[in-house]
Amino acid sequence: MREHTPGGTAPASGPLARLDGELAAWLLASTSDGFVISRLSDGVVVQANEAYGRMTGYRVEEIVGHTADDLGLVAAEAREGWVERLSANGATLEAEGVMRTRTGEELPVRVVARTGIMEGERISATLIRDLTHERDVERTLRRRGAILETVWLAAEPPPNERSSRP
């Protein structure tokens, strides 16, 4: 893999190991998923993307410098449990849960977090995907499947298929 560097390329020491600021900013701005970097010691957000702001109902400037608990997005106990699981499971954790928005709406989310060190501080880099649309599609497919099953069972089978029907 090659990493992007101003004026050329250089061998990367690992995936996304040394992205320059411009490329990292572009990647964070181009995703529809929320992305947050927070300190593990106290949960304070040090960086967030616009998608996370849209998801939560806060402006990025309102998010940075606060914890998810301060903003009412998750309860302090939930964050503590998350940090414990993240520490116990090593550097990466994937889970599903519920996050609240500024207005109190509950969003089903999938969260993928990875720990690291940034400016000498242990941090969590977290990707948050809103599952609302995915869950709506699943419900629609289940309803349509139930309708099809009802129609199938109510239909009179042709004479040659009567013995193969339940």
pLDDT, position 61:
95
Beta carbons within 10 angstroms of residue 69's beta carbon: 15
Whether the predicted model's global pTM rises above the 0.85 cut: no
pLDDT, position 165:
53
Say if CB 59 and CB 44 are below 8 A apart.
Answer: no
Rounded mean pLDDT, 144-150 = 85
Predicted confidence (pLDDT) per residue in 38-70, tens digit: 998 898 999 999 999 999 999 999 999 999 999
Predicted confidence (pLDDT) per residue in 115-142, tens digit: 888 888 888 899 999 998 887 778 888 8
DSSP letters, 75-138, are -HHHHHHHHHHHHHT-SEEEEEEEEE-TT--EEEEEEEEEEEEETTEEEEEEEEEE-HHHHHHH
pLDDT, position 9:
38
Question: Which of 95, 94, 93, 103 minimizes the C-alpha distance to 55?
Answer: 103
